[in-house]
Structure 1
Amino acid sequence: MKNLTITEDLYGQRLDNFLLKICKGVPKSHIYKMIRTKCIKVNNKKVDANYKLQLSDIVSIFQLKIPTSNDIQNNKILPREFSVAYEDDYLLVIDKPSGVAVHGGSGISFGVIEQVREFYKNNNFLELVHRLDRDTSGLLVIAKKRSALLAMHSMLRDRLIYKKYIALVNGRWLNKRQHIKFCLSKWLTKSGERRVRVDPNGQEAHTAVNLIKNYGDSYSLVEVDLYSGRTHQIRVHLSSVGFPIVGDTKYGIDLSNCDKKINFKRLLLHAHSLKFTHPNTGKETKIVSKLPSDYSNIISKLSDMNY
């Protein structure tokens, strides 16, 4: 058994993230199994993987599997340099491509944060401030200091980080600006897939939609203001009012039934801009990301087709 005491430079992070850093080479699936089977405890109690470590907590690790060379090779994290939209000593904001998970888990060995840590090996602290769906592209904020992470999380809770997204939706959007405030809750399909649905007894959620341009009656380009950060919020809200995001196979239209002339192959949702008070300087900080080329090419095609 090994006991680790949480000090000031370690507290506030999730248990699973902490363990992944100190158990180098141990498969992520094994760490989660150890948490589930009480082989890892905090203050001699079973806790969930998302437990936030507190100052002076004692993490006890029992029966830690020592990885073989094959384990390490099979779970090797490949470093990756992502396009950087903003960086200073406190924050790193990258342009995440569509199709890349922000972190490992659920059958995924590693994601953006693990690859960023591998690329920036000299940085002792790199933590996700928030998440993006795997198929959503755009701005993703990573904290480079614990003080920055705590400050950004506080702003998120107080809804002081302003996020805008660009979405292409099916149908002709009519209102210049429309608010959607349906409550949302999570549920699991019979196959165990995580989904979100409108539920009057669910968590409050607030989305505002601004019309940018209509393409006939078939498509509309909209800007979305996100006032809360529920899982799949934009996708479910837009689908619930009859305007699913193009390429959304979970809440929208099956790709096989879509317009072959457009030839899109992914969810057309892009995290376009962020505005917040910088956690160190106190200055207003705004970061903007252009549409990726595959997305902008589709918009150009729609314009050329004179919808």
Structure 2
Amino acid sequence: MANSPPAAPSVQFIDIRADQAGQRIDNFLITLEKGVPKSRIYRALRKGEVRVNKGRIKQTYRLQAGDQVRVPPLRVSEKVVITELSESLTDALESAILMEDDDILVINKPAGLAVHAGSQIQLGVIEAMRIIRPENRFVELVHRLDRDTSGCLVLAKSRAALLNLQQQMKASETDKRYLTLTRGKWPAQENIVDLALQKNSLSSGERMVVPDINGKKSKTLFEVKQEFSGCQLVTAKLYTGRTHQIRVHSASQSHPVAGDEKYGDREFNKHLRQYGLKRMFLHAWQLSLKHPISDEPLTFNAELPDALKDVLKQLEKQ
């Protein structure tokens, strides 16, 4: 994996393509300058540091094909830019592709790989796929998965596809199902958890999601598939897509996800390490949606990783 040296911050002049037209300037900058605080971007817009066709614009301005955007240096310090992937990561991602056409790319995301780079993460799925597919000028995440969650992840290869798929998810027109191993025994075969969720920040700076009546509406269906000693394999169907929804909803019912270091049970996690569990047992197993261009119904299935299959085999022996 090759790293290029940090470049000195400089003003960029970007010519807007037809496939970029229609989006608000603030959203364009947020996508362009990942990792830069939104407050910094909005300050640059207010102060006129960002200009379109040499003129000041408001944050609500919608870009048009042919516009030239002046983008000032926005980062306090430049991050190392990764321009080349290791052969093993390239092969792993290529073999993880479940479907690809001109508009969408669906992969079975490996656990441990973030979906995008962040303050402590130099490389994520989206950056890696842009390196692997340099011919595609547009590749964007449609939704997210936690770093330790594996399974179905959808990327858009055109702006029209991105907007359509995001609208499907916002309108709950997609069907997302996960496989997870949880502590204890659920009270019924099917269990609905309907608790609003709110993001909180602790004094340590850690971000947690908690049930809160003033939070965002959230709903999950947990269905028991297989029972083991002290735990159950369940499917979780998302009716909403909140951050850490499955993990918080299951923990709120005293059935935390196995291997979850944030919301889980320490003793339960320690017990399952005896059966070979070295990660969080949460896998985006199935995703159904409509093709963003043809409207064709599509269903994707991501096979459970071997490491999680092996844990289930060890549990079955008990």
Alignment TM-score > 0.5, same fold: yes
Q: Deviations over 1:234-286 (max 9, x none)?
A: 00000000000000010012277434421311110000011111112221101
Question: Matched residue of 1:116: which SS?
Answer: helix
Shift of 1:14: 4.4
Checking the alignment, whether the CA contact within 8 Å between 1:173 and 1:214 is kept in structure 2 is: no
Match of 2:182, SS state, is strand
- What's the counterpart of residue 7 of structure 2? none
Amino acid at match of 1:35: I
2:63 to 55, 73, 83: 55
Point out the more displaced range, 117-126 or 253-262. 253-262
**Closer/same/farther in 2, CA of residues 192 and 285 from structure 1, 3 Å limit:** same
1:18 is the counterpart of 2:65: no
Structure 2 counterpart of 1:230, from 230, 233, 242: 242
Greater displacement, 167-176 / 255-264: 255-264
Task: Give the share of equivalent positions with the same residue, in percent.
Answer: 34
In structure 2, the partner of 1:133 is: 146
Return the offset for 1:35: 3.2
Give the conservation status (yes or no) of the 8 Å contact 1:236–1:251. Answer: yes
Deviates more, 1:82-91 or 1:257-266: 257-266
The 5-angstrom pairing of residues 90-109 of structure 1 reads: 90-109=103-122
Post-superposition offset of 1:189: 1.4
TM-score by length of 2: 0.81
TM-aligned CA distance change 1:167 to 1:7, over 3 Å: same
Q: Cα distance 1:122–1:222, how it changes in 2: closer, same or farther (>3 A)?
A: same
Q: Distance in 2 between matches of 1:224 and 1:88?
A: 28
Distance 2:257 2:51 in 1: 42
Residue 220 of structure 1 is matched in structure 2 by 232
Closer/same/farther in 2, CA of residues 96 and 266 from structure 1, 3 Å limit:
same
Distance 2:261 2:218 in 1: 22
Question: Cα–Cα, structure 1 residues 45 and 285, in superposed 2: closer, same or farther, change >3 Å?
Answer: same
Name the SS for the 2:249 alignment partner: helix
What is the DSSP-based 3-state SS (H/G/I as helix, E as strand, rest coil) of the residue aligned with 2:312?
helix
- Sort the Cα spacing of 1:166 and 1:260 in 2 relative to 1 into closer, same or farther, 3 A: closer
Q: 1:280 to 1:179 in 2, by over 3 A?
A: same
1:24 corresponding residue in structure 2: none
Which secondary structure does the structure 2 equivalent of 1:38 belong to? Answer: helix
User: Could you tell me which amino acid in structure 2 is paired with residue 286 of structure 1?
Assistant: T
**Corresponding position of 2:5:** none
Mapping of 1:65-144 within 5 angstroms? Answer: 74-79=80-85, 80-81=89-90, 82=93, 83-144=96-157
Aligned length, in residue pairs = 287
**Closer, same or farther: CA 78–190 of 1 in aligned 2, 3 Å:** farther
Correspondences of 1:110-189 after superposition (within 5 Å)? 110-189=123-202
Contact 1:14/1:53, CA 8 A, preserved across alignment? no
Q: Does the 8 Å CA contact 2:276/2:310 hold for their aligned counterparts? A: no
2:44 is paired with a residue of what secondary structure? Answer: coil
- Gap regions ≥5 residues in structure 1: 21-27
CA drift of 1:62 comes to 2.6
Q: What is the TM-score when the length of structure 1 is the normalising length?
A: 0.84
Matched, 1:249 2:257: no
* Residue range with higher mean Cα deviation, 267-276 or 6-15: 6-15
Stretches of structure 2 that go unaligned for 5 or more consecutive residues are 1-10
Q: Which residue of structure 1 lines up, in the alignment, with residue 19 of structure 2?
A: 9
Q: Which amino acid aligns with 2:62?
A: Q
Contact 1:196–1:232 (CA under 8 A) maintained in structure 2: yes
1:146 alignment partner AA: R
Structure 1 residue 289 displacement after superposition: 0.8
2:136 and 2:157 in contact (8 A); partners too: yes
| Kept in 2: contact 1:99–1:136 (CA 8 A) | yes
Once the two structures are TM-superposed, the CA of residue 2 in structure 1 deviates from its matched residue by: 5.2
Distance 1:259 1:279, change over 3 A: closer
Change beyond 3 A, Cα 1:53–1:163: farther
Question: Whole-Å Cα distance in 1 between the matches of residues 271 and 288 of structure 2?
Answer: 35
Q: CA RMSD in A?
A: 2.7
1:136 and 1:271 in contact (8 A); partners too:
yes
